[in-house]
Structure 1
Amino acid sequence: MTVYSQAQQPKSTTADLAIDQQVKELLQQMTLEEKVAQMRMFHAQIGVELSEEDELVLSDVVTEKLKLGIGGIKNPGEHLSPERAALLNNKLQRRIIESNRLGIPGFFVTESYNGVDAEGCTSFGRPINMAATFNRDLVKRVYDAVGREARLRGLHLTHSPEADIVRDPRFGRMSEAFSEDTYLTTEMIISAITGLQGDYIGLKSTHIGAVAKHFAGYAQVSGGTNFAAIEISPRTLIDEIFPPFKAAVQQANTLGVMASHGDLNGIASHANPWLLTEVLRNQWGFQGYVVSDANDIGRLYYFMKVAESPEDAAILGLKAGVDVDLYAEDAYSLLPKLAREDPSLMEYIDQSAGRVLRTKFILGLFDDPYIDIEAVSDQVRTEEYLDLAKQADMESIVLLKNSEVLPLSTAKATKIALVGPLLGEKDEEEFSSIAGNKISFITEKGFELTNGEGGVPELLSEAEQREGIERILAAAQQAEVIMAFVGGDEFTAKEGFFNNALGDRENIDPVGLQDELILELKKLGKPLIIVLKHRRTLSINTIAENADAILDCWDLSEMGNYALAEVVFGMDNPSGKLPVTVPRSIGQLPYHYSQKEINAKKGYLFAENSPLYPFGFGLSYTVFDYSQITLSDTLMSVDKPITATITLTNSGSVKGKETVQLYLKDLYGTVVRPMQELKGFEKVELEPGQSKQLSFTILPELLEYTGLDMKTNSGKGEVEIRIGSSSASFSSSRFRFQ
Structure 2
Amino acid sequence: MKRLLVLSLSLIGLLLNSCKEEPAKDYRDPNLSIDERVEALLPLLSLEEKVAQMRIFHANIGVESDENGNLKLSEKVIEKLKLGIAGIKNPGEHMSPVEAAKFNNKLQMYIIENNRHGIPALFVTESYNGVDAEGSTKFGRPITSAASFNPELVYKVWDIVGREARLRGMHMCHSPEADIVRDPRFGRMSEAFGEDTYLTTQMVTNAIKGVQGDYDGLGNGTHIGAVAKHFAGYGQVLGGTNFAAIEISPRTLIDEIYPPFEAAVKEAKTLGIMASHGDLNGIASHGNPELLNGVLRNQWGFKGYVVSDANDIGRLYYFMKVAESPEAAALMGLSAGVDIDLYAEDAYSYLPALVKKNPEIEKLIDMSVKRVLRTKFILGLFDNPYVDENLAKTSIRSDASLKLAQESDLESIILLKNSNNILPIGKNRSKKIALIGPLLSETTQTDFEAVDGSNSYYADFGFKLTDENKSIPKLIEDNSAGVEKLVNIAKQSDIVILFLGGDEFTSKEAFFNGALGDRATIDPVGQQDELLKKVKALGKPVIVVLKHRRTLSINEIAENADALLDAWDLSELGDNSLAKIIFGEVSPSGKLPVTVPRSIGQLPFHYSMKEINHKKGYLFLEDGPLYPFGFGLSYGSFIYTNLELSNEEITPNSEITVSVDVSNTGKIKAKEVVQMYLKDEIGSVTRPDKELKSFKKIELNPGETKTITFTITPKMLEFTGLKMEKILEAGDYKVMVGTSSKEGLTKEFKLKM
TM-score, structure 2 length as denominator? 0.95
Equivalences for residues 44-83 of structure 1 within 5 A: 44-83=59-98
Q: Aligned pair 1:526/2:526, yes or no?
A: no
Shift of 1:17: 8.3
- Paired with 2:514 and 2:286, the residues of 1 have a C-alpha distance of 23
Shift of 1:409: 1.3
CA distance in 1, matches of 2:648, 2:162: 45
Aligned partner of 1:285 in structure 2 is 301
Match of 1:8 in 2: none
Q: Select 1:111's aligned residue among 126, 129, 142.
A: 126
Runs of 4+ in 1 over 6 A off after TM superposition: none
Residues 639-658 of structure 1 mapped to structure 2, 5 A cutoff: 639-658=653-672
Q: What are the within-5 Å matches in structure 2 for residues 89-108 of structure 1?
A: 89-108=104-123
Q: Within 5 Å, give how 1:84-483 maps onto structure 2.
A: 84-204=99-219, 205-403=221-419, 404-410=421-427, 414-437=431-454, 440-462=456-478, 465-483=479-497
- Secondary structure in 2 matching 1:625: strand
C-alpha RMSD over aligned residues: 1.0
Residue in structure 2 matched with residue 580 of structure 1 by the alignment: 594
Letter in 2 for 1:45: N
Distance 2:476 2:281 in 1: 39
Alpha-carbon distance in structure 2 between the residues aligned to 1:435 and 1:110 = 38
Which of 714, 727, 738 pairs up with 1:713? 727
Task: Say whether the 8 Å CA contact 1:583–1:591 is kept in structure 2.
Answer: yes
Q: Which amino acid aligns with 1:580?
A: V
Code of the aligned partner of 2:592: L
CA distance in 2, matches of 1:580, 1:627: 26
Amino acid of the structure 1 residue aligned with 2:695: F
The secondary structure found in structure 2 opposite 1:24 is helix
Aligned-pair distance for 1:608?
Answer: 1.1
Residue aligning to 1:633: 647
**Aligned partners of 1:295 and 1:186: how far apart in 2?**
28
- Confirm or deny that 1:491 pairs with 2:508: no
Cα drift, residue 411 of structure 1: 5.7
The 3-state SS of whatever aligns with 2:585 is coil
Between 573-582 and 513-522, report the one with greater CA deviation: 513-522
Distance 1:428 1:145, change over 3 A: same
| 1:662 matched to 2:676 | yes
How many angstroms apart in 2 are the aligned matches of 1:551 and 1:16? Answer: 56
Q: 1:308 to 1:81 in 2, by over 3 A?
A: same
Instruction: Give the distance between the partners of 1:270 and 1:74, measured in 2 at CA.
Output: 20
Amino acid at match of 1:19: I
Which of structures 1 and 2 has the bigger CA Rg?
A: 2
Compare 636-645 and 529-538 and name the one that shifted more.
636-645
Match in the other structure for 2:571 = 557
Q: Deviations over 1:86-114 (max 9, x none)?
A: 00100000000001001100010000000
C-alpha spacing 1:16/1:231, structure 2 compared with 1 (3 Å): farther
Counterpart Cα distance in 2 of 1:321 and 1:243: 20
Q: Say yes or no: does 1:514 pair with 2:533.
A: no
Distance across 1 between alignment mates of 2:618 and 2:276: 34
- For the Cα contact (< 8 Å) 1:413–1:480, is it kept in 2? no
Q: CA deviation at 1:50?
A: 1.5
How big is each residue's C-alpha offset from its partner over 1:440-495, in whole Å with a ceiling of 9 and x where there is no partner?
11012110000111111111122xx0100000001010100000000000000000
The 8 Å contact of residues 275 and 285 in structure 2, kept in 1 or not, is answered as yes
SS at 2:390 equivalent = helix
- Between the aligned partners of 1:414 and 1:80, the Cα distance in structure 2 is 44
Alpha-carbon separation, structure 1, partners of 2:430 and 2:645: 48
Q: Say whether 1:23 aligns with 2:38.
A: yes
Contact 1:413 1:481 in 2 (8 A): no
8 Å CA contact retained: 1:39, 1:324: yes
C-alpha distance in 2, partners of 1:146/1:713? 39
Indicate the residue corresponding to 1:4 in structure 2. Answer: none
C-alpha spacing 1:101/1:129, structure 2 compared with 1 (3 Å): same
> Which sections of structure 1, spanning at least 5 residues, go unmatched?
1-14
For 1:17 and 1:699, the matched residues in 2 are separated by: 42
Choose 408-417 or 451-460, whichever is displaced more.
408-417
2:190 and 2:336 map into 1 onto residues whose CA distance is 30
Q: Once structures 1 and 2 are overlaid, which stretch shifts more, 47-56 or 524-533?
A: 47-56
SS at 1:594's partner residue?
A: coil
Structure-2 separation of matches of 1:461 and 1:634: 60
- Which amino acid in 2 is paired with 1:440? S
* Distance (whole Å) between structure 2 residues aligned to residue 274 and residue 256 of structure 1: 18
Identify which range, 49-58 or 379-388, moves more after superposition. 49-58
SS at match of 1:172: coil
Cα pair 2:427 2:452 within 8 Å, conserved: no
Bigger Cα displacement from structure 2, 684-693 vs 719-728: 684-693
Unmatched segments (≥5 aa) in structure 2: 1-29
* 1:562 CA displacement: 1.0
2:208 and 2:264 in contact (8 A); partners too: yes
- Mapped partners of 1:413, 1:374: distance in 2: 49
Letter in 2 for 1:667: E
Kindly state the Cα deviation for residue 574 of structure 1 after the two structures are TM-superposed: 0.3
1:213-266, CA deviations, whole angstroms, 9 ceiling, x for partnerless residues?
000000100000000000100000000000000000000000000000111121
Cα offset for 1:340? 1.2
Between 43-52 and 608-617, the greater mean CA deviation after superposition: 43-52
Say whether the 8 Å CA contact 2:427–2:583 is kept in structure 1. no
Give 1:628 deviation, angstroms: 2.9
Q: Once the two structures are superposed, what CA deviation does each residue of 1:371-409 show, in whole Å capped at 9, x if it has no partner? A: 010111110000000000000001000000001110011
Instruction: Decide whether aligned partners of structure 1 residues 413 and 304 sit closer, same or farther in structure 2, where only a CA change above 3 A counts.
Output: farther
SS of residue matched to 1:68: coil
* Pair 170,412 (structure 1): closer, same or farther in 2 beyond 3 Å: farther
Looking at structure 1, the residues matched to 431 and 260 of structure 2 have their Cα atoms a distance apart, in angstroms, of 48
Q: How does 1:655-734 map to 2 (within 5 A)?
A: 655-734=669-748
Rounded Cα–Cα distance in structure 2 between residues aligned with 1:88 and 1:275: 38
Q: Distance in 2 between matches of 1:216 and 1:134?
A: 24
Q: Is the 8 A contact 1:666 1:715 kept in 2?
A: no
Instruction: Give the distance between the partners of 2:406 and 2:380, measured in 1 at CA.
Output: 33
